[in-house]
Copies of this chain bind each other. A is one copy, B any other.
Amino acid sequence: MSQPLVLDGLKVAEDIKSKLQARVSSLKEEGVTPCLATVLVGDDSSSATYVRMKGNACEKLGIQSKRIHLPSDTTTEELIQCIEELNQDPLVDGILLQHPVPSHIDERAAFEAISIDKDVDGVTSWGFGQLAFGFGKYPCCTPAAIMAILDYYNLPIEGKHAVVVGRSPILGKPVSIMLLNRNATVTTCHSRTQNLSDLVKQADIVVAAVGKPNFIQGDWMKEGAVVLDAGYNEGNIGDVDYEACFEKASAITPVPGGVGPVTISMLLKHTVDSAELRANQ
């Protein structure tokens, strides 16, 4: 079989960002500087890296990055208090709470405290519900990135059988709903799924969102499947055994350089969307 199309996330991200550039410029002409507040709790080094990458990506595009770093002994109440202040701040368009927070904090309660109008990372239950019912403003960024990649490469979704491996609130569940709303038939699999490989073998579109390095095997793939790897494990390794799946797929995202960069650009897009709503108030 011919080689698959390698879905270049850097190219998709550049395309999204170049369109945002003009929107940021015209917002600034109106006196509105889009602003993303990032909240990092504690000293986890990879979380710190992620937050820094997001903040830097904002600034490169002219979006203000308001970086809040709370100590690791922050309580749930203190974190919620901080988020509520950001909710009230008229100059903040979006709030990103970096996952994971230290384990003594009720992370879900903190996520839920984010105002739906500023939930540009798409983490609240209300945001998920609105997304599911077809009128969500800010879908969760990684699922939105997966959809953006499919759309950039004009890969058909309607009528296709999509198999999503994973069911987390910020990845498996929202990407399942987004594919369903685009008229795919969707099977959501997880750790309790029996005969996982048989299910994946039926998929026209495979989304790997399981968080286990090289978990999805090449011999699970139907010839010609489209493979989207949202995994990002230590050592830049995805959830998909890339070499093996490359042999079967018609299109595949690499790791790194696949879903990851597009995820950040979706966060920027949602922040600009929110700033435009502020400008039009």
A215 contacts B by Cβ under 8 Å: no
Q: Which residue of B lies closest to A109 (CB)?
A: B135
Contact of A173 with B by CB under 8 A:
yes
**Which of A8-16, A38-46, A91-99, A191-199 touches B?**
A191-199
B132 and A192 within 8 A (CB):
no
User: Which single member of B126, B128, B132, B167 contacts A180 (CB below 8 Å)?
Assistant: B167
**CB under 8 Å from chain B, chain A span 144-184:** 158-159, 161, 167, 169, 173, 176-177, 180, 183
Determine if A240 is an interface residue (Cβ-Cβ < 8 Å). Answer: no
Cross-chain contact B135 with A169 (CB below 8 angstroms): no
Interface residue tally on A, bucketed by range: 20 to 34
10 smallest beta-carbon distances between A and B, as pairs = A129-B129, A125-B129, A128-B129, A187-B187, A183-B192, A185-B193, A126-B126, A125-B130, A125-B133, A159-B192
Give Cα A126 to B126, complex, Å: 4
A108-B133, A185-B199 given; name 17 further pairs at CB < 8 Å.
Answer: A108-B135, A125-B130, A126-B129, A127-B129, A128-B129, A128-B133, A129-B132, A132-B169, A132-B173, A159-B192, A161-B194, A173-B177, A183-B192, A185-B187, A185-B189, A185-B194, A186-B187
A126 surroundings in chain B (CB, below 8 A) = 125-126, 129
Q: Is A28 among interface residues, defined by CB-CB distance under 8 A?
A: no
Residue contact B180 to A188, C-beta cutoff 8 Å:
yes
1/0 per residue, CB under 8 A from B, across A101-142: the answer is 000000010000000000000001111111011010000000
Q: What separation, in Å, do the CA atoms of A158 and B169 have in the docked complex? A: 19
Chain A to chain B contacts (Cβ below 8 Å), 24 pairs: A125-B126, A125-B129, A125-B130, A126-B126, A126-B129, A127-B129, A128-B128, A128-B133, A129-B129, A129-B132, A132-B132, A132-B173, A173-B177, A173-B180, A176-B188, A180-B190, A183-B190, A185-B187, A185-B188, A185-B189, A185-B192, A185-B194, A185-B199, A186-B187
Query: Out of B135, B161, B185, B194, which one reaches A190, CB within 8 Å?
Result: B185
Q: What's the minimum C-beta distance from A76 to chain B, rounded to whole angstroms?
A: 15
Shortest distance from the beta carbon of A175 to any chain B beta carbon, whole Å: 13
